[in-house]
């Protein structure tokens, strides 16, 4: 999927806005409409719609978080907003923003407020209120493939661990999944009792054979397995199933320490960043 033509169109739009040395959103919207820029979606691919939209979003984010002049960075933010609002997909694809990019957005808001550009915090606040942005995902701009995979893997592992914590926190599944069945059933006592019982039967059978013919009853003392041995097999099967569960999930008892999370399932540092930028916009 070659997205170069789409990105070039965006670059030209932002360049025209930058050359006009504008800062107002209304000027950008006027330029967008004059160029009939919503037609950018006419040539969209028929498959991989999510990848297509995220590529456009990321291209705008790259302009917005760059070290370029203020008009070009403003144009990146305005274009990001317009691309989201004008996209033809229902429901809309949300804008993925990494924590690193979120920090840059926060710095951008601060800088814009210091320069008297109230439209920037207002527009960002509107994007937050409308739920246009998803936070805490990996940075796809300039990072190596290995770093992206490592960050995404770490993020997924934290969410899996959080899910396990919530699952085991309010149910008895934790006690069942990590129960020592041998101890619960007092296996040693059962094995000793069953062995004692077997010896007692043999002794009784031997004493009775001195008095009467007991051949027809010999099957009583010729059981293949003792009760203790059968219970022992059940315990071993239980332990094997637990190990299989641990291998499939990658979770063990000592890894299930409860971590402090809020009820939303958002990781702590993600929520902190979100609250911080909201507070910044309200100041």
pLDDT averaged over every residue in the chain: 75
Same domain, 125 and 195: no
Q: Are 64 and 77 in contact (CB under 8 A)?
A: yes
Burial of residue 170 (CB within 10 Å: 0-12, 13-18, 19+) is exposed
What integer pLDDT is reported at residue 261 of this predicted model?
A: 39
Same domain, 134 and 211: no
Total structural domains within the chain: 2
**Could you give the CA distance from residue 2 to residue 82 in angstroms, rounded to a whole number?**
22
Sign of CA dihedral 208, 209, 215, 218: positive
Same domain, 193 and 239: yes
**Looking at the domain assignment, is residue 256 inside a domain?**
no
**Looking at the domain assignment, is residue 151 inside a domain?**
no
Same domain, 24 and 132: yes
What integer pLDDT is reported at residue 218 of this predicted model?
A: 57
Q: How confident is the model at residue 186 (pLDDT cuts 50, 70, 90)?
A: confident
What integer pLDDT is reported at residue 155 of this predicted model?
A: 63
Q: What backbone torsions phi and psi does residue 271 show, to the nearest 5 degrees? A: -65, -40
**Looking at the domain assignment, is residue 165 inside a domain?**
no
What integer pLDDT is reported at residue 41 of this predicted model?
A: 92
**Looking at the domain assignment, is residue 166 inside a domain?**
no
Same domain, 140 and 31: yes
**Looking at the domain assignment, is residue 161 inside a domain?**
no
**106: pLDDT strictly greater than 80:** yes
Same domain, 75 and 134: yes
Across 101-120, average pLDDT: 89
Please give the residue that has the higher pLDDT: either 275 or 144.
275
The pTM of this model reads: 0.53
Q: Domain of 203? A: 179-251
């Amino acid at each position: 999927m070659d997205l170069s033509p789409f990105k070039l169109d965006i670059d030209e739009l932002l360049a025209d806005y930058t050359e006009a040395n504008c800062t107002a959103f209304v000027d950008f919207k006027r330029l967008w409409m004059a160029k009939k820029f919503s037609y950018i979606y006419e040539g969209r691919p028929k498959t991989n719609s999510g990848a297509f939209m995220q590529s456009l979003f990321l291209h705008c984010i790259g302009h917005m978080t760059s070290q370029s002049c203020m008009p070009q960075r403003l144009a990146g933010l305005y274009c990001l907003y317009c691309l989201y609002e004008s996209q033809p997909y229902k429901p809309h694809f949300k804008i993925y923003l990494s924590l690193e990019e979120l920090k840059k957005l926060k710095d951008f808001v601060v800088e814009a407020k210091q320069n008297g550009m109230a439209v920037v915090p207002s527009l960002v606040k509107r994007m937050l209120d409308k739920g246009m942005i998803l936070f805490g995902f990996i940075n796809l701009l300039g990072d190596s493939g290995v770093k992206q995979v490592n960050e995404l893997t770490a993020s997924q592992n934290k969410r899996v661990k959080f899910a396990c914590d919530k699952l085991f926190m309010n149910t008895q599944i934790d006690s069942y999944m990590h129960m020592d069945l041998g101890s619960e059933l007092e296996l040693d006592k059962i094995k000793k009792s069953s062995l004692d019982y077997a010896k007692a039967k043999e002794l009784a059978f031997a004493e009775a054979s001195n008095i009467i013919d007991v051949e027809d009853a010999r099957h009583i003392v010729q059981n293949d397995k003792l009760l203790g041995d059968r219970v022992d097999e059940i315990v071993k099967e239980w332990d094997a199933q637990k190990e299989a569960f641990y291998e499939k999930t990658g979770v063990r008892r000592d890894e299930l320490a409860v971590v402090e999370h809020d009820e939303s399932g958002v990781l702590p540092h993600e929520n902190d960043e979100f609250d911080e930028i909201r507070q910044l916009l309200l100041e």
